[in-house]
Amino acid sequence: MSPRLMTTSSRMNPAMRIRILAALLLLAAAACSNPLDVQPTTSIPDATAISDGPSAQAALIGAYNGLQSLSLYGEELVELGDLSADNAENSGTYTSYAEVDGNQLHANNSAVADIWLASYDDINRANEIITRVPTITTIDPDQATEILGEAYFLRALNYSNLVKLYGGVPIVTQPATNLADASAVTRASVSDVYGQILKDLDSAAAGISNTDETTQATVGAVAALRARVLLYTGDWAGAEAAAAEVESMGYDLAPRYQDLYSASGNATSEDIFRIIQTEIQESFLSYDYFTRGLGGVYELRPTKDLMHAYDPSFDPDGDISSYNPTDLRGQWNISISGSRVYGSKYRSIVGTEYFPVLRFAEVILTRAEALARLGQLSDAVDEYNRVRERAGLPDDVLGVTVIGPGATVLSTQDQVIARILNERRLELAFEGDRWPDLVRTGLATTVMGISAQATLYPIPQREVDVAPGVTQNPGY
């Protein structure tokens, strides 16, 4: 059965999905009877499997590969981040996606449950490494330190995704060993989850020395994720400092926006941490957006509202052929095929592209927002204008009366922040950031016309059923 058929089936029949707690135990048990391959893709090693340097390195590869899951950066985590918001809409037949699009989720929504399951799956992989590697007596100490640092980074990344979508979640820092212990987990507060994330990032920073790779955790990736997390917690000074640290490391914007999404996966000066989709046969980030005539399934498409955001002269009620943005990002991200609008950010269905989990443009926008919220408006505008310039747009200006053609004059803090959030929308479209941005800024209720309760995803009902301490979010 192809990956697409399996994914479709899981969405149509939520009862077939496996609970996270039970799944962790099954995977742990499977590892006990199967030797760890030197280059695993999905296996979770047990205490005997992680026994030396090569097996520890192989386990780390398995944890990285967990991020490729169709439930995480391979498809659903990314797509739902735009589908819940005003960037994308459902154009296919998946019931789970239709619920997400309408912000009318149920606790048994398979796509939402998939993200939860895959995230804890990968957290368990990291937990195995963090627990077992310090017990190895034959491993090179420097190698052990690096492996542990990267495992802490991966755990922090997964928890940062969970807390943005579900709110406070169980903090699990030990491998699953038995059903009784796994069922005894309880939800932590949002602040405690963020506290754990920052603690893990401290451990990652203490262990990681790598500065060059883009497909594994580096010193820059740790600082960039810290900047993102601190922005979400409202620590403006901390977010600005972390983003400034990344800016001092030699990263730069790619000369052309489209270079970031090369079908051949070429690296750019902007890449901080990215994932290649090698575990699956197709890139569903393009497959789901492409029309059938282009080889896709057209499960979701860009909204007319996003088209208008890229091209203010475009009438959402008019003919789509009038879409003609000067914003180079709008030219690349949205295309028209016949009578249909489709997302064209990712253009290789065969899975040769890399997904940009962390990139320098986001760091710039993080720093700009932090500066603006600290009242440093001139510096904030100068900062995000770097992204506008790459998009072929005129600079925004602050508090002047004589400006060049096409520029926008800003005079208040609220105006500057609104412009930065708009730049985040345009720059990071189809990367899964729009919904978390709307939620963290309190704009989701007004922009999407929903209740505050609907801004959190439901905890999968099967999780609530098996773990009494895991309470459901209100309204589900």
**Binning pLDDT at 50, 70 and 90, where does residue 178 land?**
confident
pLDDT of residue 263: 85
Query: CB neighbours (10 Å) of residue 445?
Result: 15
Q: Is the pLDDT of residue 141 over 60?
A: yes
Q: Is the pLDDT of residue 437 over 60?
A: yes
**Binning pLDDT at 50, 70 and 90, where does residue 131 land?**
very high
Structure tokens at 144: 């052990």
User: What does pLDDT average to over the chain?
Assistant: 89
Which residues does 415 contact at the CB level (< 8 Å), separation at least 6?
Answer: none
Q: Summarize pLDDT for 287-341 with one digit per residue, the tens.
A: 999 999 999 999 999 999 999 999 999 999 999 999 999 999 999 999 999 999 9
What is the maximum span of the chain, computed from C-alpha positions, in angstroms? 73
Q: Summarize pLDDT for 62-91 with one digit per residue, the tens.
A: 999 999 999 999 999 999 999 999 999 999
pLDDT of residue 423: 98
Find, among 60, 31, 58, the residue nearest to 47 by Cα.
31
Half-sphere exposure of 327 (CA within 13 A, CB side): 23
pLDDT of residue 381: 98
Using a pLDDT cut of 70, give the percent of the chain over it. 87
Identity of the residue numbered 335: S
* pTM of the predicted model as reported, rounded to 2 decimal places: 0.90
CB-based burial, 128-142: b 16+ in 10 Å, e otherwise = bbbebbeebeebeee
**Binning pLDDT at 50, 70 and 90, where does residue 38 land?**
very low
Kindly list the structural domains of the chain, giving each domain's residue range(s) and its CATH number in brackets, ordered by start: 3-189 (1.25.40.390), 258-354 (no CATH), 361-444 (1.25.40.900)
**Binning pLDDT at 50, 70 and 90, where does residue 400 land?**
low
pLDDT of residue 17: 33
300 beta partners = 90
Which residues does 414 contact at the CB level (< 8 Å), separation at least 6?
Answer: none
What's the rounded mean pLDDT across residues 414-432? 98
pLDDT of residue 21: 44
Q: Summarize pLDDT for 46-60 with one digit per residue, the tens.
A: 545 899 999 999 999
What's the rounded mean pLDDT across residues 236-244? 98
Q: Summarize pLDDT for 334-367 with one digit per residue, the tens.
A: 999 999 999 999 998 887 789 999 999 999 999 9
**Binning pLDDT at 50, 70 and 90, where does residue 430 land?**
very high
pLDDT of residue 34: 32
Q: Is the pLDDT of residue 198 over 80?
A: yes
Q: Is the pLDDT of residue 1 over 60?
A: no
- Whose tokens are 């994308």? That residue is 88
Q: Summarize pLDDT for 209-235 with one digit per residue, the tens.
A: 999 999 999 999 999 999 999 999 999
